[in-house]
Amino acid sequence: MSQLNILRYPDPRLHKVAKPVLAFDARLKQLIADMAETMYAAPGIGLAATQIDVHEQIIVIDISDTHDDLRVLINPEVIWASEEKQVYDEGCLSVPGIYDGVERPARVKVRALDADGNPFELEADGLMAVCVQHEIDHLKGKVFVEYLSPLKRNRIKTKLVKEEREVKRDKQRVAVR
């Protein structure tokens, strides 16, 4: 297994729409294992393949405190969402250090495939509902900051671009020494 590089907002690759998974093979199982390792190391509770520049409909989620309840959703689709909404402070591994309230349906039902290609349905509420919807958004090329006002979104983009520039500048200084 290996940890993968997570794309950072505003990287344009985060806006690519993922394609359905067609082959359930050893490559897919290795990718899922690498995604899980990356998510746990980050640390995070969800990761979509889009975030690691793989544009296939694969999500890994584990909202447990003990990191022993890994959920894999392949080709997921929301088949029902409650009219009742909830606001959760969301964060994202692709938008490090930023948290803000996003309103989403309080409960959802999702149809997906597991790592072996077997279909299943997942009914989710609370944090799991938020996480599933957040990760499915990634597969559609949408980052949670797009739910925020243009002003907030621009401030976040400016902050992250500045941080990225500073990191690159620091690496160049180290390389020159």
Model confidence at 163: pLDDT above 80: yes
47: its two tokens: 């990761």
Is the pLDDT at 176 greater than 70? The verdict is no
SS3 14: helix
Ligand-binding site membership of 134 (annotated): yes
pLDDT in the model for residue 170: 78
Give Cβ neighbours of residue 64 (< 8 Å, ≥ 6 apart): none
The percent of residues in the chain predicted with pLDDT above 70, rounded, is 97
Tens-place pLDDT, residues 18-56? 999 999 999 999 999 999 999 999 999 999 999 999 999
Rounded to 5°, angle at Cα 175 from 170 and 177: 100
Cβ atoms of 75 and 113 within 8 Å: the answer is yes
pLDDT tens profile 82-91? 999 999 999 9
Q: How many residues does the chain have?
A: 177
Residue 110, SS3? Answer: strand
138 annotated as belonging to a binding site for a ligand: yes
pLDDT in the model for residue 167: 81
With contact defined as beta carbons under 8 Å apart, do 52 and 18 qualify?
no
The pLDDT of residue 2 is above 90: no
Catalytic residues: 135
